[in-house]
Structure 1
Amino acid sequence: MRFISTKAHGALDYLTGILLIASPWLFGFNFGDEAQWVAIISGAALLVLSIMTDYEAGVMKNISMSTHLTMDVLMGIFLAASPWLFGFADYVYLPHLIIGIMEIGAGLMTERTPYHSHGMTHSHNH
């Protein structure tokens, strides 16, 4: 069931990207190791993906919403599994796991077509 609008998804993308980049300092795992770099690189990748997606929050609009949502699911799986893949689950795993699961959910529950692609236009009469 897809009930998250692409507009809301865009806002969540930027917030999640910033949260991921800040999470090592917010949650106390800023030791310069894999845990920190997985979070930072994942956050930066999400911001770049968002900037390049053809939706309300996109700037360059080079990547389709469908591709973006597929990338969200794949990035979510990677992020959720990363504490075990890279061996840092002994001291931190919840931020990666929770944000990863949220990314998977967002990828599966967001509309596949941005509002502007429905052929509808907004007119603002001031």
Structure 2
Amino acid sequence: MIPTRVHGVIDYIVGIVLILAPYILGFADGTAAQWVPMILGITALIYSLLTRYELSIAKLIPMPVHLGLDIASGLLLAASPWLFGFADRIWWPHVLIGVLEIVIPLLTARHSSIETTVRA
């Protein structure tokens, strides 16, 4: 299992990558291809800052809810090229990161040491 502290590091990296990917990979064209990953990246950073785990600033969101948000985000990201009609221009970064956002939560511990302390 991936410890929640490691998952937190991954969360912040993925959030930043999602925001920067359209510019780095050349699809910052003002369309859904650009905005879907950017909005999901900003959202991921916000809920990561609010999750009950080691690397947040406010311990509000339980870890299982956070992992569910990650999976939902990954599903939307992976499907977005076809949902929003840009698969003919760019699809692979959305699918690649989307699949990672689905797999990583499935391999992550369901409760952080912080949650365990709070529950005790």
TM bucket (normalised to shorter chain) is over 0.9
Question: Whole-Å Cα distance in 1 between the matches of residues 95 and 71 of structure 2?
Answer: 13
Match runs of 1:64-103 below 5 Å: 64-103=62-101
Question: Whole-Å Cα distance in 2 between the matches of residues 117 and 66 of structure 1?
Answer: 11
Is the Cα–Cα contact under 8 Å of residues 50 and 57 in structure 2 kept in the other structure?
Answer: yes
Q: Which has the higher helix share?
A: 2
Match runs of 1:46-125 below 5 Å: 46-119=44-117
TM-score, length-scaled by structure 2: 0.94
Question: Whole-Å Cα distance in 2 between the matches of residues 117 and 68 of structure 1?
Answer: 13
Of 10, 21, 24, the residue aligned with 1:23 is 21
TM-score, length-scaled by structure 1: 0.90
Higher Cα Rg: structure 1 or 2?
A: 1
Question: Whole-Å Cα distance in 2 between the matches of residues 71 and 117 of structure 1?
Answer: 18
| Superposed CA RMSD | 0.8
Which stretches of structure 1, 4 residues or longer, exceed 3 Å deviation after superposition? none
Is the Cα–Cα contact under 8 Å of residues 51 and 63 in structure 2 kept in the other structure?
Answer: yes
Question: Whole-Å Cα distance in 2 between the matches of residues 107 and 13 of structure 1?
Answer: 10
Following superposition, the deviation at residue 116 of structure 1 comes to: 2.7
1:16-75 deviation per Cα after TM superposition (whole angstroms, max 9, x unaligned): 000000000111101011100001101000000100100011111110000000111111
| Matched positions, count | 117
Amino acid at match of 2:4: T
Is there any run of 5+ residues in structure 2 with no aligned partner, and where?
A: none
Is there any run of 5+ residues in structure 1 with no aligned partner, and where?
A: 120-126
Is the Cα–Cα contact under 8 Å of residues 52 and 115 in structure 2 kept in the other structure?
Answer: no
Amino acid at match of 2:106: L
